[in-house]
Chain A
């Protein structure tokens, strides 16, 4: 009797999570697929996908989503790694910087977008400061559709600011899992900071790096509030188009088609990371 109850315990502990995942993730995904592939009369259709692909912004949305991915993900991982390594040295006052770094985590992406808009706009903080310092005579138009690289750059900066902290948190947690002995061994055996990072820290951090990359890439596919605030419709991204189709154009079918496309890309990216960043059991140190 007792063993039977005990065998049920793990399942009962998992049940709440399972319930939430089912209610909030599995069912909505299923519904999104239904929306994407169903016509108004309930029959199977690819019309939503055709409409999505024929849309003026579709090509741009694909292009800019991947461009953002290519710029943001590596930049953020490098930045986050540097921040995590810095915090991990536990220098005096490192907790202060940890809190500073973590601030963007607490700010919604829309609020972040508005804050950065206030910085980059023509009479914004940045131009005002540059003007006061005498560097600029006339405000520089960062957010002009005629200067796409500048506009894109502001998005990269704002997105990096916003989401680097989450990557840093993952990497810092990973770093703290690595026994200090490995770092000390590297020190004793003659590695300087750079070599220690390259030959010891990074390889040992690989599982965390993989997680961080996956999470960051998924987030990058979902980015849009910041892009909306800074670039309006000039730089469309896939998640933003999905939002537009649902909220502004009131067309759930096309919105769901975008969602399905994003899901496909996300799964593909995750598979890619698993395949090419995989740590063998032996290397990972498991028996």
Chain B
């Protein structure tokens, strides 16, 4: 088994630097998710690891091996492609066995491992079929099986679920998690879907504009986004942001109300007297209050959406719009004026200019 180390990796396409000196250490057996919007460089970083792209700077190590200059076939990796890239001219069996055959393994072993892989992904009944005779989900499983039977130290997945419909995606997500628990290969998983990232990752590396902006366990990424971008990218609905200004006493005025930051941050706020600041809070960390009290702001309910497990409210605060998630049995109607309570411990304050979280 092997960890993976990116050391100041740089990749340039033409005049654009798409990977900007990225360093990242992935532990042996870890499920690392590269998360980011399209164009952030996450797939390119994965392809640099696979050897499908040549890096323009830095080194890539798998375990102790420097693989920077090795061809893909010499890197001892397996990969699931976004398009699956299941060979249309080969049967399911031959597809799964492809990598094993390339290694010239004894045919008995190829057979054994292929059947094992097929069983693991419930493909045993389809071994003689051609990919065109399979559903999208089945083809996707063939792609996964082909990668798994390699028993490679490193398993790469490039948005493997993005071409499936919502229900299948949910199903496969859980299946992938089970598979990882079983095979324990170091896995790098590229996605733009934050739910997948939260669900699957041991850690998530959030990428923006060719850089890793935060790398942490999922709940930390969720609760403590490193900047406004991450807060706004992760969570459904994402984090709410309100404009505020720091007062002389260290509190922050938001609209007509005052919010007191958590005591651990008071020193940082003292230095920001009079400066604008950004208040970030998750919809589920807001509560309705019957009357004005400490850390409340008046709000007007615009829309109420009962979603079964909770109610999602769209509210107007001053000139800004925020989302609030409340219990399904909360009695509330649109056009109502209410008080919203902000839990100071759950607020993520950010610099208004840079969007960086204040710690």
Interface positions of A (Cβ within 8 A of B)? 179, 181-182, 184-192, 195, 199-200, 203-204, 206, 279-287
Contact = CB atoms under 8 A, between A and B. Distances in A.
A186 B78 CA distance: 11
A171 B132 CA distance: 23
Given A184-B72, A282-B130, A283-B130, A190 B89 contact: no
20 contacts: A181-B85, A182-B85, A182-B87, A185-B85, A187-B51, A188-B51, A188-B72, A188-B77, A189-B73, A203-B90, A204-B87, A206-B89, A282-B130, A283-B88, A283-B89, A283-B132, A284-B88, A284-B89, A285-B131, A286-B132
Contacts of B50: 184, 188
A188 B50 CA distance: 7
Nearest to A203: B89
Contacts of A286: 132
B249 to A, nearest CB: 60
Contacts of B98: 186, 189, 199
Contact of B146 (A182, A187, A189, A281): A189
Interface string B149-179: 0100000000000000000000000000000
A1 B50 CA distance: 58
A192 B102 CA distance: 8
Contact of B102 (A191, A206, A279, A287): A191
A182 B81 CA distance: 9
Interface string B205-220: 0000000000000000
A282 B85 CA distance: 15
Contacts of A195: 102
Contacts of B72: 184, 187-188
Contacts of B81: 181, 184-185
A184 B85 contact: yes
Interface string B57-85: 00000000000000111000111011101
B293 interface: no
Given A285-B131, A285-B132, A287-B132, A188 B87 contact: no
Contacts of A181: 81-83, 85
Contacts of B78: 188-189
Contacts of B88: 204, 283-285
A276 to B, nearest CB: 16
A184 B52 contact: yes
A203 B94 CA distance: 13
B290 interface: no
A187 B132 CA distance: 22
A182 B131 CA distance: 13
Q: Indicate the member of B50, B83, B102, B103 with the most A CB atoms within 10 Å.
A: B102
Contacts of A190: 73, 99, 102-103
Contacts of B99: 189-190
B236 interface: no
A194 to B, nearest CB: 11
A102 B132 CA distance: 36
Contacts of B150: 189
Nearest to B89: A203
B132 A281 contact: yes
Contacts of B85: 179, 181-182, 184-185
Contacts of A282: 129-130, 132-133
Contacts of A283: 88-89, 130, 132
A285 B132 CA distance: 5
Contacts of B132: 281-287
Contacts of A186: 98
Nearest to A183: B85
A169 B51 CA distance: 29
Interface in B117-142: 129-133
B257 to A, nearest CB: 55
Interface in B87-125: 87-90, 98-99, 102-103
B6 to A, nearest CB: 18
A179 B51 CA distance: 18
B201 to A, nearest CB: 22
A181 B47 CA distance: 12
A206 B90 CA distance: 13
Interface centre among A181, A189, A192, A283 (most CB of B within 10 A): A189
Contacts of A185: 79, 81, 85, 87
Contacts of A189: 73, 78-79, 98-99, 102, 146, 150
Contacts of B129: 282
